[in-house]
A and B are shown apart, each in its own frame.
Chain A
Amino acid sequence: MSKIIAITVNGETREVPAGESLAALLRAIGLDTRKVAVERNEEIVPRSTYPEVALAAGDRLEIVHFIGGG
């Protein structure tokens, strides 16, 4: 049984298995990674590295996309 850690995604607390990759998290949320960008603890995460990024307790993620704006 893997350990559960708490992270913050877009301001909401979320529990994930320790060591889960960012790619797995995005899949679990159901996002098309080609249309979003991710910041982890105020640093950009390059899309190509999603599978290797292991989430750590206390991580603060921002997952954004483009919307209408002026």
Chain B
Amino acid sequence: MDGTPATTGDDTWEVAGRRFRSRLIVGTGRYKSLEETAAAIAASGAEIVTVAVRRVNLSDPNAPMLQDFVSPKDYTYLPNTAGCHTANEAVRTLRLAREAGGWNLVKLEVLGPPPYLYPDMEGTVEAAKALIADGFEVMVYCADDPVAARKLEDLGCVAIMPLGAPIGSGLGLTNPFMIRSIKQNAKVPVLVDAGIGTASDAAKAMELGCDAVLLNSAIAHAKDPVRMAVAMKAAVEAGRGAFLAGRMPWNYQADASSPMTGLIR
């Protein structure tokens, strides 16, 4: 899946048989306006965007809709189950998403209670089983737990997406060792989902060998979201490049770069 180095700029990745060039997936929530949403997402270079499923406001049926600004013709919509705290809610939500847009590729998240909204792995596994049996291709948000990640992969999830830190926290990668071990043991793509706060966090996730990064608040809550979207695009590319290049070893003493011979005396 990682293929050959990106020297030709032809470094793509694949999930559920779909091939993508951008390794940055962005959320469409928390922006000031739909116009700002569209501008930031365009600047990010993302090809996949996550979207939420919510009740239509019956008193304002003609309110502008996300699709009018971020078209499913231009982006792969990845419906999520944000806000779902039980497997049943998540399954119902994604069945509605499939009916609304016809998409089988979905992001599953079953969340524990505030203040951490940490993934509820029991509910996540239950929902994943039901969704896969119903023909969905499930990209799954999960704990940074290699045992749970393996179970989800064995169930047939098409991508494993451990959190870097709690949703919307911006705390970065709090457990890089476990993210790395999940990636090393997985045959499906591994994405860091949630917790990214700034460009270096995204680069770090890619340097660990992750296939892609999924983030929302880091762009939407930046002072200048469009500028941060550009920065995130560069960070993901830089981190991926550094991973493919293979970093130098850690060395706990100096190793001079300039020749030690021919010094003047």
Which of A's residues lie within 8 Å of B, judged by CB? 9-12, 29-31, 35-39, 42, 44-47, 62-70
Contact A69 B52, beta carbon cutoff 8 Å: yes
Q: Say whether B80 contacts A30, CB under 8 Å.
A: no
Q: Which of B7-15, B56-64, B184-192, B205-213 lies at the interface with chain A?
A: B56-64
**Alpha-carbon distance A12/B50, docked complex (angstroms):** 28
Smallest beta-carbon distance B214→chain A, Å: 8
Known A36-B56, A38-B99, A69-B52; 11 more pairs at CB < 8 Å: A30-B61, A37-B97, A42-B92, A46-B99, A63-B56, A64-B55, A67-B51, A68-B37, A69-B28, A69-B54, A70-B30
Interface string of B72-113 (1 = CB under 8 A from A): 000001011010000000001001111111000000000000
Query: Range of interface residues on chain B?
Result: 35 or more
In the complex, B198 has a CB within 8 A of chain A: no
Determine which of A44, A45, A46, A62 lies in contact with B55 in the assembled complex, contact meaning CB atoms within 8 Å: A62
Pair B55/A66 contact, Cβ less than 8 Å: no
Asked if B170 CB lies within 8 Å of chain A CBs, one says no
Report whether B95 and A64 are in contact in the complex, using a CB–CB cutoff of 8 Å.
no
Distance in angstroms between the alpha carbons of A35 and B97 in the assembled complex: 10
* Residue contacts A-B, CB under 8 angstroms, 17 given: A10-B55, A29-B58, A35-B65, A38-B96, A38-B99, A42-B92, A46-B99, A47-B99, A64-B55, A66-B65, A67-B52, A67-B66, A68-B27, A68-B29, A69-B27, A69-B216, A70-B216
A40 and B210 alpha carbons, distance in the complex (Å): 40
Contact yes or no, B58 A64, CB < 8 A: no
Question: Which of B58, B80, B82 is the one whose CB lies under 8 Å from A10?
Answer: B58
Which B residues touch A44, using CB under 8 A? 95-96, 98-99
- Verify if B53 is at the interface (C-beta below 8 Å from A): yes
Q: A39-B92, A70-B30, A70-B216 are in contact. Are A65 and B99 (CB under 8 A)?
A: no
Chain B, range 13-31, C-beta contacts under 8 Å to A = 27-31
B167 contacts chain A at the CB level, 8 A cutoff: yes
Inter-chain contact A29/B52, CB cutoff 8 Å: no
B73 CB, nearest partner CB in chain A, Å? 13
Contact B29 A66 (CB under 8 A): no
Q: Are B100 and A65 in contact (CB under 8 A)?
A: yes
